[in-house]
Amino acid sequence: MMARRFAASEHGSAMVEMTIVAPLLFALTLGFVDFGYALYQWNGATKGVQIGARLASISDPVVPATVLAAAAPTSVPGAPVAAGAYAPFVCKYTGSTGACNGNSANFDANAFSRIFRGDTAVTNDDACPALSGTQRPGMCHFLPGLKRSEVVITYSATGLGFQTRLGGPVPTITVELQTRTFQFFFLSGLMGFQQINMPSMLSTVTGEDLKTSAPT
């Protein structure tokens, strides 16, 4: 009698059902939060490369202006600098060392810092100082946790400017994010979510005065 009564009892069934369903429910809820944050990072990265490209177009070039000018042909003064007239200068950090085309001597760390951090103080790390007053933001202010090694700035000849131009050739500038992974709060240890790379994104603009004092 007692055995039949125990087998027919439904006491505690709701708790058992909740125990089974709760992990799935929590995973779905926290997953929505994490993917919402991933979308925020995507938007921040998109805005970051746009701001970086804009700053790069009105700032001192990361590859020294003298090096950039010397790369363009000078045999026919006044003639157009044709597309592909010089090899692109690819400037980036590898660890704590910055270099353009692998040459650290042709790399202006202060110019890179202005693109990365805006008008805030120059530091030799990935720090992103808070803005004050009328300081303009840099890339890192739109994508928290951004590292210098994830930013690639390329100066290339695309048929703009003319030989022996006083300010040097007019490059086309591309600012790109590479090797950036999405950051997840709750799913980072689940099913390899911590290894999901953000698709490479970039913004391309035409160089302007290429000097820090240029107006925006």
C-alpha 142: how far from chain center: 9
147/169 Cα distance (integer angstroms): 30
Q: Are 180 and 145 in contact (CB under 8 A)?
A: no
pLDDT in tens, 10-50: 555 667 677 777 777 777 777 788 888 888 899 999 999 99
pTM of the model as a whole: 0.81
The structure tokens 């003639």 sit at 79
- How far apart (Å, rounded) are the C-alpha atoms in residues 53 and 207? 9
Gap between the Cα atoms of 150 and 48, Å rounded: 12
Placement of tokens 């890192």 in the chain = 140
Q: Tens digits of per-residue pLDDT, 163-200?
A: 888 777 889 999 999 888 888 877 766 666 667 788 88
3-state secondary structure 19-81: HHHHHHHHHHHHHHHHHHHHHHHHHHHHHHHHHHHHHHHCCCCCCCHHHHHHHCCCCCCCCEC
- pLDDT, mean of residues 95-112: 94
CB neighbours of 107 closer than 8 A, spacing ≥ 6? Answer: 62, 63, 91, 98, 99, 100
- Looking at the predicted structure, is the pLDDT value of residue 7 above 60? no
